Structure 1
Amino acid sequence: MAKFGVWIRRILIGRPLPSWRAAHERLPKFLALPVFASDAMSSVAYATEEILLALVVAGVAATENLIWITIAIAALLAIVVTSYRQTIYSYPSGGGSYIVARENLGTTAGLVAAAALLIDYTLTVSVSIASGVANLASAFPLLLDHRVEVCVVFIAFIALANLRGLRESGTLFAIPAYTFIVSLTTMIVVGIYKAATGQLIPVSHMDTISVQQPLTMFLVLRAFAGGCSAMTGTEAISNGIPAFKPPESKNAATTLLIMALVLGSLFIGISGLAQYLHILPKHSETVVSQIASMVFGRTWFYYVVQFAVAMILVVAAQTSFADFPRLSSILAKDRFMPRQLANIGDRLVFSNGILVLASLSILLVVKFQGQVHKLIPLYAVGVFLSFTLSQAGMAVHAWRLKEKNWKISMAISAFGAVITGIVVCIAFITKFTQGAWIVGVLITASIFLFTKINHHYRTLADQLRLPAGEPKDLLLQEVHNTVLLLVPGVHKGIIPALLYASSLSQDCRGVYIETDPTDTPLIVERWEKWGMGIPLVVLESPYRTLLEPILRYIEEVKKDRARHFVTVIIPEFVPAKWWHKLLHNQSGILLKWALMFKRDIVVTNIRYYLEK
């Protein structure tokens, strides 16, 4: 059975990689782009739609502001990217917003940034997968009724791909990422050409859209905040610098610049075409699908675009699977998360972090039924909160070091912090009732959890610290041991346990639990012959339970032997075939669980292996 499990594990995940292979698993720029930038690039698939959803309530005329809002967001993107490039060179060990905020603004600010990022990464997986399925459903409406199941399958697939290793997952997801870039670039170029030559006719909505509220500055700011979802994932590269091939910082900074140029170009192109064509959001069809349909018709290339968008949205989750485990490992090393998250798995990835992220993302998708617009309100707050703290931290960093051109660096980071801070406030206020408050609660709860975990580890370290005195003060203490050998019956299988028990201590006794009084005389008779002179204690069990009598007896022994260890020896035989285990009681396992956390009690299993 164990060999079968290992065989399945090898097929799904692959053979373990030695530590010296870590350098070979690092990513070149062309693979790092799909791994760390897919989230940011994929955001253009729904960012334009989020702006339109905010503007359309003021009527069709209000959507004419789409391109200007898009350009403003692109300008903010340039500021944020400039700040993160500074972060990459200043903090080459990775950690991004968490490290920057912790080092320059204090531990609490760092934990806020970390909590916001971890929540953001979880939401990224859920939003990206749900958006990908929504795009597929635009072309294949039958998927609408099964979107939750399809989302879960995609999340499981990406988690499995990441468990196989960062380089393998990067190679696997490079094709969808570059297909997305080429197909959307083609759509934009062909769309601009057809618009310039009069081959594209804008849609008329004059008689179908009513004005629900006037176009105010607050509405424009709300649209701006919604469109800023295009910037999600921008920080990912700064978190994963150690995953790049040397020179790490230079390669990471170059990849970040390429990502920003691609993201900005696609975002402006899609918004420009959407405004020219008078595209409005529909429940059953995405904005990108409408543009592709008008540019190409329902030809084969329309389906290429839809498939590419769906795949990049799915692949966008890859960014989170690359960064969530890495950030969790940094927090674990700082003792703010469980130590297990710092462990590197068989394939040189943080396997535990990958599994945690997959589980949380599936819970979100199921909770919100895979609906993108229910998840988006939770999305922007955490992202821009981490942006704000990171840029504020970099502004302080520049002011402290006062290196060359530090005033320019500080001004850029400070301005970016102010703008992204405004976006946080707008997003939180406007989307509060839609669920943004949940993010605030989750961040607060996460910080509380971080501090409790850290307190535990610090308390643990204090308790385990060796005293300043001589070692003999501790090492020369006398240790006493009382041994209790559980006697299920007197047979050949108990002999190894009997020999082991007698070797541990002179204070040794056998313990038999009497569930049927008629069996006791034979047990006592055999014990007198085979028990090596060890006394046998018979415990009555009128209710035929095994646990209560032995637990009660152990407590009595502990009172009588206050300064003794009590070693409980449980004999057990191991069947030759796995299914034979189903034919026997598992009382030994239950007893081990019951005694696991008892003070000064040692539980030992002595196994007797059956040959057939």
Structure 2
Amino acid sequence: MANINKLFSLKIRTLILGHPLSSHNAEEAKVGVGGGVPVFGSDIISSEGYAPDEILYVLLLAGTLGYAYILKISLVIVLLVISIFLVYRKAIQKYPQGGGSYTIAKAYLGENFGLIAGASLTLDYILTVAVSVSSAVENLTGIIPWLAPTGHKVLADCLVIMFMAWINLRGLKESARLFSFPVYLYIATLALLIGTGLVEILVHGVTPTAVATGHIASSSVSGMTWFILARAFAGGTTALTGFEAVSNGVTAFKNPSQKRAIQTLLILGIIVSIGLIGLTYLAGAYHLVPAEGNTVLNQLGLIIFGKTIPYFVLMGTAAAILVIASSTPYAGLPILLSLMARDGYTPRYFKNLGDRLVYSVGIWTLFLVSSVLVIVFHGDTHTMLPLYAIGVFISFTLTGAGLAKHTWKERGPKWQSDFAIFSFGGIVSFFVLLVFVTTKFMQGAWIILIIMPLLVLMFRGVHYVYNIEIQNLEITLEAADDFHKHVQKINRRRSQIEISDYRNKIIVPVYDLNLIVLKALIYAYALTPQVTAVHIASDPNRTEKLIKHWAEQHMEIPLEIVESPYRATVHDLLNYIDKVEKNGNFDTITIAIPEYVPEKLWHNILHNQTGQLMKLMLLFRKSILVTSVPYHPIPKKSLLIDSKVNPKN
């Protein structure tokens, strides 16, 4: 019956998430350039669609004079695109493990700036999901009136976010396969729109007054000012949100990963540059006025295509790509959190690969936090939008500044041109950031200025706790000598007894070799010499380090490595126990689980509670005994085992 239930649950899991992927197939689960564009570029591709609106909203404060500046501002934004492309190309070349702004800032500007970059990217990714999905659902309210009430809209937002999480839990290739068609169809239709519009203007000319829609708001502004130009430029740079995702996710590309990542970044830069220049030129030529519910893209579609099939394809794919844009954070944030986990700034379980070779804990976290954000802000895009671009421009600024500082210090061949490019990208990004903060401060940007320091403090707090734990658990010479003495003492006591006379077997699951494991091994060995330390090899690097450490410490107790190609730690341990039970001649089999007991209750959230899950799974095994060996942090100089403890046979 148990096997039937196990088989049924496995089939359900496979149906929902797909077949587990082996670690040996990691390369096959990665994406190429064709898949990288929709997975990592959907956010930036969708952003260029509403960038002309953001520019015109500000420029038209100066009246019709604003139309003369829209193309010039777009060209300056394209210069920034080129600079940022060159910045992130260098980042990808220097750091193939990914991390982008976080890695660069931490390496060249110091730990604090690295954490600021990590916090800004984390916020940006979360807001991207919330804003993209909310915007997409808002655009559907005219077609589906049921979505109009706030409660219905929030529910629809959360369901879409859940759907995107589910798709990404199935793996990068799965999401690339699903999203490629609508993304490439949108790009093709947008190219057709721009091409047809340019041909129409060249052949037939244009009469702006005949096609202008809406009205230009009256303003006390007399003529164009530098402040209006700065605000318009900052608004247009929303077309760059998502550009950093490729540098964060280099490891998600097939080999050669760096080359494919740079090619993907170049393609995205070309798409954004051509699309932005084309749309802003057409918007200026036709003197369009953006309005809520009637975007520049919609107006151009009606003017150039009319209500024909290409128009409906354009608007349909534009709505779809807003939803798909939330896939970029699902690809980027889990990788960023995994890198920060390896450095000890986020909980360690963020670096664990799930069944489908994606960082599933990061995906679940993004789903939960973005859903909460949508609920708190009632799914109102305009409330969340002021917070949207600040994070990404903090990361742009820190990346440019970090690489500029590194280039200045190294001064290698042709360093002057690199320094100029990196400095330009960092300075302009900082300028845009200042404009955003000053103009959007009262609209909600102040929230970012509060949340970001709190995130940085949280990262530092996690790092501090882990450092204390490492110091407390590190095996000292005294602890190692004490362990070996206890083993020798027990061996002398048992010298007249055959090992086959011991009918009780103890298995000690180990992840690393530390004081927790030493205490559990001494406890087990004091009861029986039939002790085996078992390591489930879900991470090859961790396994290699453990084997090396085990040999260096001359451990008398054997270590057995159990391969775990699908990273199912508990499942593989249970299978190992089944084999021991079937093949061994033991009266009892005991699983002695080493457990760390943190000093403070909240520290438990920094640990994945695998031991608790093991105990739960073994609870229903009648022939298996389970015991916990708790380890409470002690001063480093204290003895591992109290001298008063006298283990008996």
- TM-score norm. by structure 2 comes to 0.71
Distance 1:473 1:598 in 2: 18
Compared with structure 1, are the counterparts of its residues 204 and 36 closer, same or farther at alpha carbon in structure 2 (3 Å cutoff)? Answer: closer
What is the aligned partner in structure 2 of residue 211 from structure 1? Answer: 219
Distance 2:20 2:163 in 1: 20
**What whole-Å deviation, never above 9, does each CA across 1:149-197 have from its counterpart, x for those lacking one?**
3322221111111101111111111111101100111111112222333
Q: How far did residue 466 of structure 1 move?
A: 1.6
Distance 2:386 2:132 in 1: 14
**What whole-Å deviation, never above 9, does each CA across 1:264-300 have from its counterpart, x for those lacking one?**
1111111111122222221222221122122222222
**What whole-Å deviation, never above 9, does each CA across 1:298-346 have from its counterpart, x for those lacking one?**
2222111111111112111111111100000000111100111111001
Distance 1:421 1:9 in 2: 47
Q: How far did residue 3 of structure 1 move?
A: 5.4
What is the aligned partner in structure 2 of residue 291 from structure 1? Answer: 300
What is the aligned partner in structure 2 of residue 499 from structure 1? Answer: none
Taking the TM superposition and a 5 Å limit, the aligned residue runs for 1:48-59 are 48-59=52-63
Q: Is 1:223 aligned to 2:232, yes or no?
A: yes
**What whole-Å deviation, never above 9, does each CA across 1:430-476 have from its counterpart, x for those lacking one?**
10011111111111111000000000000001111122226353576
What is the aligned partner in structure 1 of residue 88 from structure 2? Answer: 84
Taking the TM superposition and a 5 Å limit, the aligned residue runs for 1:105-124 are 105-124=109-128
Distance 1:251 1:157 in 2: 28
Q: How far did residue 573 of structure 1 move?
A: 10
For the 8 Å contact 1:138–1:286, the answer to whether it is kept is no
For the 8 Å contact 2:98–2:251, the answer to whether it is kept is yes
Q: How far did residue 13 of structure 1 move?
A: 0.4
What is the aligned partner in structure 2 of residue 40 from structure 1? Answer: 44
Instruction: Specify every segment of 5 or more residues in structure 1 that has no aligned partner in the other structure, as ranges.
Output: 479-503, 506-568, 577-591, 601-612
Distance 1:151 1:212 in 2: 39
**What whole-Å deviation, never above 9, does each CA across 1:461-505 have from its counterpart, x for those lacking one?**
111112222635357689xxxxxxxxxxxxxxxxxxxxxxxxx99
**What whole-Å deviation, never above 9, does each CA across 1:8-51 have from its counterpart, x for those lacking one?**
32111012111101011121111111111111111112111111
Between stretches 420-429 and 209-218, larger displacement belongs to: 209-218
Q: CA RMSD in A?
A: 2.9
Taking the TM superposition and a 5 Å limit, the aligned residue runs for 1:265-284 are 265-284=274-293
From the CA coordinates, give the structure whose radius of gyration is larger. Answer: 1
For the 8 Å contact 2:182–2:317, the answer to whether it is kept is yes
What is the aligned partner in structure 2 of residue 14 from structure 1? Answer: 18
Distance 2:238 2:310 in 1: 27
Aligned amino acid, residue 403 of structure 1: G
Distance 1:166 1:76 in 2: 29
Distance 1:24 1:387 in 2: 31
For the 8 Å contact 1:293–1:302, the answer to whether it is kept is yes
For the 8 Å contact 1:139–1:306, the answer to whether it is kept is no
What is the aligned partner in structure 2 of residue 71 from structure 1? Answer: 75
Compared with structure 1, are the counterparts of its residues 196 and 27 closer, same or farther at alpha carbon in structure 2 (3 Å cutoff)? Answer: same
What is the aligned partner in structure 2 of residue 586 from structure 1? Answer: none
**What whole-Å deviation, never above 9, does each CA across 1:530-553 have from its counterpart, x for those lacking one?**
xxxxxxxxxxxxxxxxxxxxxxxx
Q: How far did residue 400 of structure 1 move?
A: 3.0
What is the aligned partner in structure 1 of residue 169 from structure 2? Answer: 163
Taking the TM superposition and a 5 Å limit, the aligned residue runs for 1:77-476 are 77-137=81-141, 143-145=147-149, 146-198=152-204, 201-202=207-208, 203-204=211-212, 209-214=217-222, 215-469=224-478, 471-473=480-482
Compared with structure 1, are the counterparts of its residues 463 and 269 closer, same or farther at alpha carbon in structure 2 (3 Å cutoff)? Answer: same
- TM-score norm. by structure 1 comes to 0.75
**What whole-Å deviation, never above 9, does each CA across 1:495-520 have from its counterpart, x for those lacking one?**
xxxxxxxxx99xxxxxxxxxxxxxxx
Q: How far did residue 142 of structure 1 move?
A: 5.9
Distance 1:200 1:92 in 2: 49
For the 8 Å contact 1:17–1:347, the answer to whether it is kept is yes
Compared with structure 1, are the counterparts of its residues 597 and 54 closer, same or farther at alpha carbon in structure 2 (3 Å cutoff)? Answer: farther
Q: How far did residue 208 of structure 1 move?
A: 5.9
Q: Aligned pairs, how many?
A: 495
For the 8 Å contact 1:135–1:309, the answer to whether it is kept is no
Between stretches 453-462 and 265-274, larger displacement belongs to: 265-274
Distance 1:454 1:390 in 2: 23
For the 8 Å contact 1:102–1:109, the answer to whether it is kept is yes
**What whole-Å deviation, never above 9, does each CA across 1:351-395 have from its counterpart, x for those lacking one?**
000010111111222223333332221011111000000011111
Between stretches 424-433 and 312-321, larger displacement belongs to: 312-321
For the 8 Å contact 2:337–2:346, the answer to whether it is kept is yes
What is the percent sequence identity of the aligned residues?
37
Compared with structure 1, are the counterparts of its residues 37 and 205 closer, same or farther at alpha carbon in structure 2 (3 Å cutoff)? Answer: closer
Between stretches 200-209 and 369-378, larger displacement belongs to: 200-209
Where 2:255 maps in the other structure, the secondary structure is: coil
Distance 1:406 1:573 in 2: 64
What is the aligned partner in structure 2 of residue 493 from structure 1? Answer: none
Aligned amino acid, residue 363 of structure 1: V
What is the aligned partner in structure 2 of residue 523 from structure 1? Answer: none
Between stretches 208-217 and 85-94, larger displacement belongs to: 208-217
